[in-house]
Amino acid sequence: MSNHANGLKPVFPENAASKDYAASLDAADPLAAFRHKFIVPSKANIASNKLAKPNLSSDPCIYFCGNSLGIQPKAASRYLEAQLNTWSSIGVNGHFTKIEDSPLEPWQLLADQAASSMCKLVGAAPEEVTAMATLTANLHMLMASFYKPTATKHKILLDWKAFPSDHYAIESHIGWHELDPEQSMVLIGPDDGEYKISTEKILSYIDQHAEEAAMLLLPGIQYYTGQLFDIKTITQYAQSKGLVVGWDLAHAYANVELKLHDWNVDFAAWCTYKYGNAGPGAMGGLFVHEKHGSVDYSQGEDSPQFRHRLTGWYGGDRSVRFKMDNKFKPTPGAGGFQLSNPSAIDLACLCASLSVFDETSMAELRRKSVQLTGYLEYLLLKDTTDDTRPFRIITPSDPEERGAQLSLLLKPGLLQKVASRLQEAAIVCDKREPGVVRVAPAPLYNTFSEVWLFVKQFRAALSD
């Protein structure tokens, strides 16, 4: 296989469809050891759907559902145990006391510990990132600060098939300002019969609505199609037309390389339980560009000037947080958007997952991901034509326009049969009505041999 470089799709040799070739890719994989840092569910447990302790020596399933929930890092139990030991041994003093040999900072510093690792996954300074709440809550918090409609500029541009939480959040903020969603929500969709939304079309919508638009809020990666948007170009253009720009990075975080600071993104939010592997319902993260997070004391220590936001005790600067004088002095940066004392248990899980990412880089992960997804696409399309194939890949073929996920749109009536066959084969991936199977090989723990086995089972399911 030729090396991936400059955004070019990997090219595979004639023998690439063989099991031996897939095994050779695994043997040459520089990230192969990371798989052993995770607990891959066993085939027996997947088949039984019963609560069971993981059998690390058993046959692992093929888990291609990291776009919905990543599997458990082995570090999670150690980090959770450390947090529980701190709580049981010193109680409230755990907020301020560093325990010897613990991988965790005192609870008051845990959000900062998470941010110092998480910022590297999104291309930001530590001060521009914070760990708090969950994705939808964070979108609401951010929109409360950044959506400032006027009589003339009130529209929000969003994705035609936005994840329901994004749609609901946008709709509710428009309603909060006593505006009509029918007039203030602009949905950007693909051309008829297509699923990809071109950058040119998004820019044309920005042009069309620039005079009345206040905000653009798009997903970094569209959850249904798997399309990765050109965040840099879209952000720059929308801002040049006077729009505030935010991104929902639920499917982009820990999946693709991001440079939120350099791209001048105004704000962003993400969950950490998909490619981030921090656990179901794990604590989310948010980004606020440094230009929006500054605190100005030029008018006096008691009169800080800062971007208006929903405020809470935990967003107050740590140096004065315990003065209890009810004079809010925000932590500079994204930390000033925090509200409440965060769950140390949730932060322990998040820090555990981030400890794995600290051992590599998004550039390395992305390099393998492009190869994995490219190999999946190659095998799916090999020896077939558009006319004979009972499915269509609706994810863009260009590696620069997708992450780890390929969305396979099946012909009508096939979804339940294929999903059942994959379940019987202990292959875990996601289905979305009415006919899409979302397949997401994650570079931290998935292998090329698993891709080969998946395609074999998938083709068999289609032919039954």
pLDDT digits 0-9 by tens, 284-306: 999 999 999 999 999 998 899 99
Confidence of residue 401 (pLDDT cuts 50, 70, 90): very high
Neighbours of 399 (CB within 10 A): 21
**What Å distances lie between residue 134 and 215, 248, 317, 427, CA to CA?**
21, 12, 22, 28
**What pLDDT does residue 322 have?**
83
CB 405 within 8 A of CB 67: yes
- The whole-angstrom distance between residue 296's C-alpha and the CA centroid of its chain comes to 32
pLDDT digits 0-9 by tens, 317-369: 988 888 888 999 999 999 999 999 999 999 999 999 999 999 999 999 999 99
**What pLDDT does residue 50 have?**
64
Q: Which two tokens stand for residue 302?
A: 């008691």
**What pLDDT does residue 52 have?**
64
Once rounded to an integer, what is the mean pLDDT over residues 101-113? 96
Confidence of residue 53 (pLDDT cuts 50, 70, 90): low
What is the residue extent of each domain of the chain? 19-60+362-463, 110-296+331-357
C-alpha 90/C-alpha 83 separation (Å) is 11
Nearest Cα to Cα of residue 274 among 247, 249, 303: 249
- Percent of all residues in the chain with a pLDDT value above 70, rounded to a whole number: 97
Binding residue numbers: 135-136, 163-166, 248, 251, 273, 313, 341
Q: Which two tokens stand for residue 104?
A: 């965790």
Confidence of residue 55 (pLDDT cuts 50, 70, 90): low
Q: 399 preceded by cis ω (within 30°)?
A: no
Binding residue numbers for pyridoxal 5'-phosphate: 135-136, 163-166, 248, 251, 273, 313, 341
Q: Please report, in angstroms and rounded to a whole number, the separation of the first and last CA atoms in the chain.
A: 32
Mean pLDDT of the chain: 95
110-296+331-357 architecture in CATH?
A: 3-Layer(aba) Sandwich (3.40)
Q: Which two tokens stand for residue 128?
A: 């521009």
**What pLDDT does residue 4 have?**
45
Once rounded to an integer, what is the mean pLDDT over residues 27-47? 94
CB 312 within 8 A of CB 338: yes
Once rounded to an integer, what is the mean pLDDT over residues 78-102? 96
C-alpha 241/C-alpha 269 separation (Å) is 23
- The whole-angstrom distance between residue 325's C-alpha and the CA centroid of its chain comes to 38
**What pLDDT does residue 1 have?**
60
Nearest Cα to Cα of residue 276 among 398, 120, 142, 390: 120
Which backbone phi and psi does 132 adopt, to 5 degrees? -165, 155
pLDDT over 50 at 5, yes or no:
no
pLDDT digits 0-9 by tens, 208-255: 999 999 999 999 999 999 999 999 999 999 999 999 999 999 999 999
**What pLDDT does residue 51 have?**
63
CATH class of the domain at 19-60+362-463? alpha beta
Secondary structure of the chain in the HEC alphabet? CCCCCCCCCCCCCHHHHCHHHHHHHHHCCCCHHHHHHEECCEHHHHHHCCCCCCCCCCCECEECECCCCCCEECHHHHHHHHHHHHHHHHHHHHHCCCCCCCCCCCHHHHHHHHHHHHHHHHCCCHHHEEECCCHHHHHHHHHHHHCCCCCCCCEEEEECCCCHHHHHHHHHHHHHCCCCHHHHEEEECCCCCCCCCCHHHHHHHHHHHCCCEEEEEEECECCCCCEECCHHHHHHHHHHCCCEEEEECCCCCCCCCCCCCCCCCCEEEECCCCCCCCCCCCCCEEEECHHHHCCECCCCCCCCECCCCCCCHHHECCCCHHHCCCCCCECCCHHHHCCCCCCHHHHHHHHHHHHHHCCCCHHHHHHHHHHHHHHHHHHHHCCCCCCCCCEEECCCCCHHHECCCEEEEECCCCHHHHHHHHHHCCEECEEECCCEEEEECCCCCCCHHHHHHHHHHHHHHHHC
**What pLDDT does residue 386 have?**
87
